[in-house]
A and B are shown apart, each in its own frame.
Chain A
Amino acid sequence: MSEIGYSKKVLDHFMNPRNVGALENPDGYGKVGNPVCGDLMEMFIKVKEEKIDEITFRTFGCTAAIATSSMTTEMAKGKTLDEAVKITRKDVADTLGGLPPQKMHCSNLAADALHLAIEDYRQRAEK
């Protein structure tokens, strides 16, 4: 098992993922990935006064995919939308204490799902 270069923090978020599930009537929703590649993530957000009030995820994927999803929700919760949209894939990986190199691209998509959810919220708000 050469890939078990996971940090304690990655394994903690994998074993005890935070903010799992779907939100009913979310204000914003984002989905990235492809089941053929082995990673598919969804982010659900509720927004209050331009801040992320509630955020949850659902992920199909490996350890890294689940851990980065969980970490992203924790990092984004309570932040303003302007702050949250600045969270990058690298920020997520760094906060988790790093990811194995081969997992940096395919499984580290959670920040993208968050950005899509924020974009979705903003588009809905414009209407």
Chain B
Amino acid sequence: MPLYKGIYDITIVKMNSMKRIYMDHAATTPLAPEVLEAMIPYFTDYYGNASSLHSFGREAKEALEDARIKIARLINAEPSEIFFTSGGTESDNLALKGIARRNRKKGNHIITSSIEHPAILEVCKVLAKQGFEVTYLPVTKEGLVELTTLESAIRKDTILISIMHANNEIGTIQPLNEIGGIAKERNINFHSDAVQTVGKIPVDVKSIGVDALSISGHKLYGPKGIGVLFVRKGVKIESIQQGGGHENGLRSGTENIPGIVGLGRAAELARNTMLDESKRLTALRDHLKDFVLNRIEESWLNGHPTKRLPNNLNFGFKYIEGESLLLYLDALGIAASTGSACSSKKLSASHVLTAIGLQPEYSHGSLRITLGQSNTLDDVDLAGQAIEQSVIRLRKMSALGPR
């Protein structure tokens, strides 16, 4: 008789017969009903081109400028400093390429971190091929950029520092105010990818002293396909996409008015609910963290214990592989994410988990849970139980587990 008795104690229920719980809000968020409501007229009734002089065009232009004000308010910027793009990736491309190329006469050195999103790291690779020098700062095991490391990396020819506000995988929040202070003191342009923070925690571009900042619509209950690059007045930046001269010549292309209206409404909602919601999510986050770490042996939390996004958890589990865990959770109705190599297109371990010093055999068993508006205490309890069951089940069949 084989020794696998007990493995089937856990019933994996068919997915279509139960409630599904979405806990992957760092990947994307659902559109808020209020946002959809605000957008709909701009598909059907107010479909004018904001560049047109007639009344149809003026209606669109009015909506465009209204949204610009709402987004500016959320991050304490001036409306004229808000530039609409197609999303976070385009904003990152525009900021890095636009600032680096425009300031090339001043120098060709760029500083970024080793845990940035690919929308930064891949752009840096391209810029490096074009002759720019890029320094990738290491991070601590909690995922923090150290100010002394940053300061010692600065050279006379450094023209741009780009450090993300919070990391999308492990949720660590960087000391942006301090980094902004260092950049300002040395007169270096400072960009931050704030895709994971805007709408979740307060972002004040004036107090940070940031020169450019990327925002994505669909991470804050807005639509996909719309984003913003904040560019502080006076910052030298050139366009990377030319055409009809929209967005003050920085980003040509007919404005996506429904998307822009949606993002404006989402920014307005976020501004009203952010503080309460972040408190609520932090409590849920810590509840789930305690449950998992107390119940499951040889588990740990990746990232910083306190300097982390209110909705982010990134667990590590020994002896199991993340993709398997993800799909077991999926079968139990829980949608999450993993940094496991086996789940990536490139079959390489997460660069973030590698940068915080996790050995490959341990980075395979990572699980990212990112909570959001729809999640309740019941959801979090269910998720905790599902994680425990799935980890036990996979460990029982693992060749690394105890016999």
**Which A residues are closer than 8 A to B by beta carbons?**
1-3, 11, 14-17, 19-24, 31, 33, 35-42, 54, 56-66, 102, 106-107
- Identify the B interface with A (CB < 8 A): 2-4, 7, 12, 319-321, 323-324, 327-328, 331, 340-345, 347, 359-361, 364, 396-401, 403
Closest residue on chain B to residue A38 by CB atoms: B364
Residues of A within 8 A of B400 (CB): 35, 40, 60
Are B319's CB and A60's CB within 8 A?
Answer: yes
Measured between beta carbons, the chain B residues less than 8 angstroms from A57 are 397
B323 touches A3 (CB 8 A): yes
Q: Say whether A21 contacts B345, CB under 8 Å.
A: no
Chain B residues within 8 Å of A65, by CB = 321, 324, 342
Known contacts A15-B331, A61-B321, A62-B342; decide if A36 and B360 are in contact (CB<8 Å): yes
CA–CA, A2 and B27, complex, Å: 13
Which of B323, B331, B345 has the most chain A CB atoms closer than 10 A to its own CB? B323
Give the residues in chain B near A54, CB-CB below 8 Å.
2
A21 touches B4 (CB 8 A): yes
Q: Which residue of B lies closest to A106 (CB)?
A: B347
CB distance from B344 to the nearest CB of A (A): 8
Cβ–Cβ contact B2 & A60, under 8 A:
no
Q: Tell me, rounded to whole Å, the shortest Cβ–Cβ distance linking A52 to chain B.
A: 13
Q: Is the CB of A63 within 8 A of B323?
A: yes
When chains A and B are docked, how far (Å) is the Cα of A39 from the Cα of B342? 9
Listed by A's residue number, 6 A-B pairs whose Cβ atoms lie within 8 Å are A35-B361, A58-B398, A59-B397, A59-B398, A62-B324, A107-B342
State in angstroms the CA–CA spacing of A54 and B319 once bound together: 25
Chain B residues in 8 Å Cβ range of A59: 397-399
| B4 with A60: CB separation less than 8 A | no
With A1-B343, A14-B327, A56-B2 already in contact, 15 other A-B pairs whose C-beta atoms are closer than 8 Å: A2-B345, A20-B397, A22-B2, A23-B3, A24-B3, A35-B361, A39-B342, A40-B399, A59-B398, A60-B321, A61-B321, A62-B324, A63-B323, A64-B342, A106-B347
Q: How far is the CA of A14 from the CA of B313 in the complex (A)?
A: 26
Closest-CB distance, B402 to chain A (whole angstroms): 10
Contact of B399 among A16, A23, A41, A107 (CB under 8 A): A41
A42 near B399 with CB under 8 A, answer yes
Chain A residues in 8 Å Cβ range of B331:
15
A56 and B324 in contact, given A20-B396, A38-B342 (Cβ under 8 angstroms): no
Across chains A and B, which 5 residue pairs bring their CB atoms closest together, nearest first? A21-B4, A62-B342, A62-B323, A35-B361, A20-B4
Option from B321, B345, B403 in Cβ contact (under 8 Å) with A62: B321
- Output the least CB separation between B397 and chain A (Å): 5
Are the CB atoms of A56 and B4 closer together than 8 Å?
yes
Whether A38 lies near B321 (C-beta < 8 A) is: yes
Residues on A with beta carbons closer than 8 Å to the beta carbon of B327: 11, 14, 63
* Contact assessment for A21 and B7 in the assembled complex, using a CB-CB cutoff below 8 Å: yes
Chain B residues near A17 (CB-CB < 8 A): 397
Inter-subunit contact A60/B399 (CB<8 Å) = yes
Q: Which residues does chain A contribute within 8 Å of B341, judged by CB atoms?
A: 37-38
**How far is B126's CA from A29's CA once the two chains are assembled, in angstroms?**
49
Given A38-B364, A59-B397, decide whether A21 and B323 contact each other with a Cβ distance below 8 A: no
Residues in A neighbouring B403, C-beta threshold 8 A: 22
Given A36-B360, A36-B361, A38-B341, A60 contacting B398 (CB threshold 8 A): yes
- Minimum CB distance partner of B335 in chain A: A1
Complex alpha-carbon distance, A42 and B12, angstroms: 24
Query: With a CB–CB cut-off of 8 A, which chain A residues contact B319?
Result: 60
Given contacts A21-B3, A38-B321, A106-B347, are A15 and B12 in contact (CB under 8 A)?
yes
**Distance of B340 from chain A, by nearest CB (Å):** 7
Contact present for B345 and A102 (CB under 8 Å):
yes
Of all chain A residues, the one with the shortest Cβ separation from B5 is A21
Residue among B12, B328, B399 with the most chain A CB within 10 A? B399
CA distance A41 to B133 in the complex (A): 44
Q: How far is the CB of A9 from chain B (nearest CB, A)?
A: 14
A36 to B347, CA, bound (A): 12
Contacts of B359 in A (CB 8 A): 36
Chain A hits for B2, CB < 8 A: 19-23, 54, 56
Assembly CA distance A60 to B361 (angstroms): 10
